[in-house]
Amino acid sequence: MVEGIYRALETTEERLGGRCDDIYFPIDLDISALTSKIKAIQGELVEIQSYIARRPEASSSIDRRNNKSTDIHQRTSVDDATNRGQLVPKMTSDMSETHYHGEEISADTYATRIVWKTQLQQ
């Protein structure tokens, strides 16, 4: 009887070992493949970084025609018609006959709207 129990335990251990191998080895292969790919990508990254470092025309700007740093912030206008490097003043619209009544719009947009409205009424 004891001999039968030991045989059953050995069989169970073999089955569990086989199942673990079925799970472990594919995962181990996947991990090994990923590790190899990571090392290859790291090598390519080092090559790219060294290429960039030794380029004579290396610039801090994304645009090669512009040598300014991308960290420099230039003030720009939101309205092309008043591009003076400052923000365009806003005002509340007085267009009660439209669905834009009470919304904030630029002074230039409001002036243009008034001119168009006047021209339409003539």
Question: Beta strand pairing status for 90-92 and 104-106?
Answer: antiparallel
Euclidean distance between the first and final Cα of the chain, in Å? 113
| 110-119 contact pairs (CB < 8 A, 24+) | none
pLDDT surpasses 90 at 41? yes
pLDDT tens string 53-62: 887 665 555 6
Residue 25: strand, helix, or coil: helix
Which secondary-structure segment (H or E) carries 91?
A: strand 90-92
pLDDT tens string 64-113: 566 555 555 555 545 554 555 555 555 555 555 555 555 666 666 767 77
